[in-house]
Amino acid sequence: METFKPVKQIKASDEVAQQLRTAIFDGSYPAGSKLPSERELIESFMVSRTVVREAIKGLEASGLVEIKQGATGGAFVKAITFERMTSACNDLFFMGKLSFTELCEARLLIEPMVARLAARNCTEKDAELLMEAHRHESDNLAYPHTVVLRQKVHHVLADMTDNRFLAGITKSLLQVLASITNQFEPDTNVIHPAGLHLEVINAVIANDEDAAAQAMYHHLKGFLERLQTIEADFRSANEKAS
């Protein structure tokens, strides 16, 4: 006779969390968007406030949503990143056990493919987002705002891949670099002069996959060379100070 395992009853909060998780992964609630209000979820799922709150807390614990307080607050979907990796890489850099070269070598392998996919998928709306990001690169040269503005094109391109895992890796590498540079604030116009993304943008908008990949590679190669000089100066200054 077949031996069956006892059936475990699924908690209502787990079922609510699973349905919300599925909706997030299906793209019904993209990164940055707000989930329905507590009252709306109670009505939709026909469950208690306690069940909804427990489900949302579970999503928050798993890193899928961020809870914001206030009148305009609620549960907001987070972008896919690798936060533990970001934190660890930040520590390793300042311990001298990780270099900008290693981070940028990873970008050199990944982001030409990102540019290629972005060129393949580029729509008129995507083109507008890219040009808008390009136009606003120099709106604020103060840290941390300047890093956000100079990285915006790369974030838009990552989202255009339609590959959430690839976008998550790309954004995580950008986040690591931002976290590090925000701590010692090198001159933005030295580390990343404005206007360097235009060649990549034009190739992507033209749906030229090869040109987009090549332009991204050359862009990152130049960026790496500037980073290496900045890191060498930073390490040297730290050695003298100690």
Domain of 202, in residue numbers: 83-241
Give the Å distances, CA to CA, from 220 to 17, 59, 94, 191: 40, 36, 22, 12
The 3-state secondary structure of the chain, one letter per residue: CCCCCCCCCCCHHHHHHHHHHHHHHCCCCCCCCECCCHHHHHHHHCCCHHHHHHHHHHHHHCCCEEEECCCCCEEEECCCCCHHHHHHHHHHHHCCCCCHHHHHHHHHHHHHHHHHHHHHHCCHHHHHHHHHHHHCCCCCCCCCHHHHHHHHHHHHHHHHCCCHHHHHHHHHHHHHHHHHHHHHCCCHHHHCCCCCCHHHHHHHHCCCHHHHHHHHHHHHHHHHHHHHHHHHHHHHHHHHHC
**37, 67: one domain:** yes
And the tokens for 134? 């390009």
Inside any domain, residue 110 = yes
Q: What is the CATH number of the domain that holds 22?
A: 1.10.10.10
Residue 77 sits at φ, ψ, to 5 deg, of -70, 130
CB 97 within 8 A of CB 56: no
**127, 151: one domain:** yes
Residue positions counted in the chain: 242
Q: Which among 44, 60, 77 is the end of a domain?
A: 77
**169, 92: one domain:** yes
Instruction: State the 10-residue block means of pLDDT for the chain, 242 residues long.
Output: 58 91 84 92 94 93 87 85 69 85 94 98 98 97 94 97 91 90 89 95 98 98 93 84 70
Inside any domain, residue 65 = yes
The pLDDT, as a whole number, for residue 32 is 86
**154, 219: one domain:** yes
**38, 88: one domain:** no
Over its C-alpha atoms, the chain yields an Rg (Å, rounded) of 22
And the tokens for 85? 């990796």
**167, 55: one domain:** no
Inside any domain, residue 6 = no
Q: How many domains does the chain have?
A: 2
CB 178 within 8 A of CB 148: yes
Q: What is the CATH number of the domain that holds 165?
A: 1.20.120.530
Inside any domain, residue 7 = no
**146, 200: one domain:** yes
**121, 220: one domain:** yes
Q: Which among 50, 77, 104 is the end of a domain?
A: 77
**198, 102: one domain:** yes
CB 153 within 8 A of CB 134: yes
Inside any domain, residue 5 = no
Contacts of 117 (CB under 8 A, 6+ apart): 160, 161, 162, 163, 166
Residue 169: HSE in the Cβ half-sphere, 13 Å Cα cutoff: 14
Distance of CA 65 to the CA centre of its chain: 14
**40, 157: one domain:** no
And the tokens for 228? 């290496």
The pLDDT, as a whole number, for residue 1 is 47
Inside any domain, residue 3 = no
**161, 186: one domain:** yes
Q: Which among 60, 77, 94 is the end of a domain?
A: 77
**91, 72: one domain:** no
Inside any domain, residue 124 = yes
The pLDDT, as a whole number, for residue 6 is 62
